[in-house]
Amino acid sequence: MKSVTERGILSRYDTRRKANWIGFFLVLCVIILMVFTMLYPILFTFFNSFKGLVEINSFPPHLLPQDWHWENFREGWQYLNLPHFLGNTLAIFAGNMVATMFVLGLASFSMSRLSYPYRKAVYFFFLLTLFIPPSTYIVPNFVNLKDLGLLNTFWAFWLPAGASAFYLLLLKSFFDSLHLELFEAARIDGASEWRSFLQIALPLSAPIMSTLAIFVFASAWNDWFWPSLVMHGDPKYPLATAIYKKVVSGSVTGLKLNVKFAILSMVMLPPIAVFLIFQRFIIRGLHLGGVKG
């Protein structure tokens, strides 16, 4: 029996046409250019962290260091209290994740499984908020947190984390895909909606929660603007804000350029490692929680 092979981008007939090869070559060149423009800043920062101060200011510049100065990382670690700011970032991530799991999880479960008036209107209201630029509600959020006395506390991050319309709709779409018979059987056995959420919906949502955990981690790790508004002083700064104010800002003096690159490399590598390790969960979770028409 003749084996059946899947058709690729170019079939055996297509490869005989010169015009197709030209188009394929142009697409390949564009992809290589995109990869280069994405990787070059990362490699430039990483290799500069190993250079000496004279070599990093030399002209013409070169990518690879001639002498590897590992002491730059030790100086950067001593200059900036990275464990303290890392702890603040992880505290923000943990609180944001709890708000995502329970506040947004319960809201999306209610929208998916409970019957209430104007369900579609409520759904389209949350969908509409995705088209509002985030910069328009920075000032209202700041004023509300100030009136509540929550500035310079981690609640300034945890409360807004429970109002993400994108995560809400992503979770709702996932809960819509769960079999209704599971929850009907739980109701027959006397389980409440709260118990159905904790013992059925939440354990089954582990794939989409894993994806959201990566998104929440990336947001907590990279955000520096909002913390610079609501946090006042070093003890409460997350890592990204501390890096901006103490390393990237032009007001910083006395810090050598190669040590700056060493600090940036130490901060840059963990999220890259997290993405490379858990990238399959991102794709799988988005597939499971994709919005269905």
The confidence score (pLDDT) of residue 205 equals 85
Q: Distance between the two ends of the chain, CA-based, in angstroms?
A: 40
Counting beta carbons within 10 angstroms of the beta carbon of residue 79, is it exposed (0 to 12), middle (13 to 18) or buried (19 or more)? middle
**Measured between alpha carbons, how far is 71 from 103 in angstroms, rounded to an integer?**
46
Write the pLDDT tens digit of every residue in 176-187. 888 888 888 888
Does the model's pTM come out above 0.85?
Answer: no
**Measured between alpha carbons, how far is 288 from 210 in angstroms, rounded to an integer?**
12
Domain ranges of the chain: 14-73, 76-288
The highest-level CATH class for domain 76-288 is mainly alpha
- Quote the percentage of the chain above a pLDDT of 90: 11
Instruction: Return the top range by mean pLDDT from 56-60, 94-98, 227-231, 278-282.
Output: 94-98
**Measured between alpha carbons, how far is 239 from 220 in angstroms, rounded to an integer?**
9
The confidence score (pLDDT) of residue 285 equals 59
Confidence of residue 197 (pLDDT cuts 50, 70, 90): confident
CA-closest candidate to residue 221, choices 175, 261, 182, 269: 269
Q: Are 194 and 275 in contact (CB under 8 A)?
A: no
Q: Are 243 and 259 in contact (CB under 8 A)?
A: no
The confidence score (pLDDT) of residue 15 equals 64
Residue with the bigger pLDDT between 16 and 205: it is: 205
**Measured between alpha carbons, how far is 277 from 285 in angstroms, rounded to an integer?**
14
**Measured between alpha carbons, how far is 232 from 156 in angstroms, rounded to an integer?**
12
Q: Are 211 and 229 in contact (CB under 8 A)?
A: no
The confidence score (pLDDT) of residue 291 equals 44
